[in-house]
């Protein structure tokens, strides 16, 4: 177990390192000059050049990368133009937003978390529940309705569903305010009413996929010998289906869920754009458009951390759910 964990964490760190190097290289090739954007039109070439020197944009790539990584682990001095001393998890200074990238992230990360976590709970409960019920009631109208629901959801587009929801509930019926983010600690009701459409849209599309997957898995499990044996022994239906079969059927669902939630936490670009909420995803898109390298690095790294962490968690969960899996 310990050996597995160490191996897994080592490979995760290696992945993150590669992501950071690749992102650094890729965005350096971006055909945009961040400096000319931050300076008004009457800047003379000498001044632009001085700013570039100051930001370290003229240093060799390796030096710049090493400086960035050093900032994350020990903090570094960025110079007076960039807010001076930058402490330990230093993600740099955004020359576009004129603030420390860490502050930007601290502002937008709770937004994305507030969108994804409730939506994920909703879609997992709804999706797995629907899949189980339709597998157990196979062939009935309920099963057919569930299949129809999941096929429809899997074929719909988030921006389309979002647009329809906005049109109906915000503009026509006026039941909900225009989507926006309020901190849950300030006003929980406003927090929920501002984000509920995003939750519903995400949960609808994702639960469709999960309903399909868990129905197929459950059907396969129900046809296995151990389920018949358990039933033949006289165990109650509820025990057999709820404990034995569910546990066996849910393992692949856990894998997909881990990847999906991890990816979603890294920024729900389309959801945030559709509902006009400023989270991690939209921040990343804007940073790419503006050529804001420090913000891009931070957002890409954070979403990679989420995906990699989710992967490790899934492996650990596997061992907890499925006793046949021995980590070694």
Partner 1 sequence: MSMSPVEGVALAEVESGGDADAPKEEKGFVGRSPGQLAWLRLRGDRTAMVSGALLVFFVLVALSAPLIELLYGIGPSDQFQHKLDRFGMPLGYAGGVSGDHFFGLEPGLGRDIFIRLVYGLRTSLLIAFAAAVITAVLGIALGALAGYLGGWLDAVINWVTDLVLAMPFLIIALALTPTLTLRFYGERDAVSPAFGVGVLIAVFAIFGWTSTARLVRGQVIALREREFVEAAKASGAGLGHMLFRQLLPNIWAPILVSFSLAVPQFITSEAALSFIGVGLTEETPSFGRMIYQSLVYLQTDPAFVFFPGVAIFALVFAFNLFGDALRDALDPKSSR
Q: Which residues bind partner 1 (CB under 8 A)?
A: 11, 14-16, 18-19, 22-23, 26-27, 29-31, 151-152, 154-157, 159-160, 163-164, 166-167, 171, 219-220, 223, 259, 263, 266-267, 269-270, 273-274, 281, 284-285, 288-289, 296, 299-300, 303-304, 307-308, 311
Query: What is the SS3 assignment for 77?
Result: strand
Tokens linked to 302: 């954070």
CB of 79 to partner 1, least distance (A): 26
Q: How far apart are CA 259 and CA 103, in angstroms?
A: 27
| Nearest distance from C-beta of residue 325 to partner 1, angstroms | 15
Pick the closer one to partner 1 by CB: 167 or 236.
Answer: 167
Sign of the CA dihedral running 93, 97, 100, 101: negative
Quote the CA–CA distance of 147 and 224 in Å, as a whole number: 23
Shortest Cβ 19–partner 1 spacing (Å): 6
- For partner 1, give the closer residue by CB, 23 or 78: 23
Q: For residue 202, which of 285, 287, 265, 108 has the smallest C-alpha distance?
A: 265
- For residues 291 and 276, give the distance between their C-alpha atoms in angstroms, rounded to a whole number: 21
**Cβ-Cβ contacts under 8 Å for 46 (sequence gap 6 or more):** none
Q: What is the DSSP letter of 137?
A: T
Q: Report, in Å, the least distance between residue 81 CB and partner 1.
A: 25
| Helices of type H across 137-187 | 141-155, 158-165
Cα(35)–Cα(46) distance, rounded to whole angstroms? 12
Please list, in sequence order, all residues whose beta carbon lies within 8 angstroms of the beta carbon of residue 64, skipping any fewer than 6 positions away.
Answer: 24, 56, 57
Whole-angstrom Cα distance, residue 250 to residue 221? 10
Rounded to a whole number of angstroms, the minimum distance from the CB of residue 27 to partner 1 is 6
Q: Which is nearer to partner 1, 194 or 281 (CB)?
A: 281
Nearer CB in complex with partner 1: 78/161:
161
Tell the smallest beta-carbon distance from residue 260 to partner 1 (Å).
11
Q: Which is nearer to partner 1, 33 or 49 (CB)?
A: 33
Min CB(87)–partner 1 separation in Å:
26
Nearer to partner 1, 242 or 276 (CB): 276
By beta-carbon proximity to partner 1, the closer residue of 86 and 202 is 202
DSSP state letter for 277: -
Decide: 279 and 272 in contact? Cβ < 8 Å: yes
């Amino acid at each position: 177990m310990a050996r597995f964990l160490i191996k897994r964490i080592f490979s995760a760190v290696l992945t993150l390192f590669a992501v950071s190097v690749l992102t650094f290289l890729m965005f350096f090739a971006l055909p945009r000059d961040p400096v000319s954007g931050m300076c008004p039109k009457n800047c003379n070439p000498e001044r632009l050049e001085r700013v570039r020197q100051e930001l370290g944009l003229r240093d060799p790539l390796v030096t710049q990368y090493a400086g960035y990584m050093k900032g994350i682990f020990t903090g570094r001095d960025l110079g007076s133009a960039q807010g001076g001393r930058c402490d330990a998890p230093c993600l740099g200074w955004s020359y576009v937003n004129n603030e420390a990238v860490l502050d930007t992230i601290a502002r937008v990360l709770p937004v994305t978390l507030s969108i994804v976590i409730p939506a994920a709970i909703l879609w997992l409960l709804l999706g797995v529940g629907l899949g189980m019920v339709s597998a157990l009631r196979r062939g009935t109208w309920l099963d057919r309705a569930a299949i129809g629901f999941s096929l429809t959801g899997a074929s719909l587009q988030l921006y389309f569903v979002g647009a329809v929801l906005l049109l109906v509930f915000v503009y026509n019926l006026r039941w909900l305010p225009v989507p926006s983010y309020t901190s849950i600690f300030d006003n929980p009701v406003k927090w929920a009413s501002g984000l509920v459409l995003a939750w519903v849209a995400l949960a609808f599309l994702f639960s469709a996929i999960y309903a399909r997957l868990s129905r197929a898995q459950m059907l396969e499990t129900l046809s296995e010998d151990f389920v018949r044996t358990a039933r033949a022994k006289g165990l109650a239906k509820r025990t057999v289906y709820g404990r034995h079969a569910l546990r066996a059927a849910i393992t692949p669902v856990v894998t997909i869920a881990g990847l999906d939630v991890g990816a979603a936490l890294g920024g729900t670009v389309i959801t945030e754009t559709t509902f006009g909420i400023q989270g991690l995803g939209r921040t990343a898109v804007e940073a790419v458009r503006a050529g804001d390298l420090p913000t891009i690095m931070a957002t890409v790294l954070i979403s990679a951390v989420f995906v990699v962490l989710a992967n490790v968690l899934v492996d650990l969960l596997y061992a907890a759910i499925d006793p046949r899996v021995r980590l070694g």
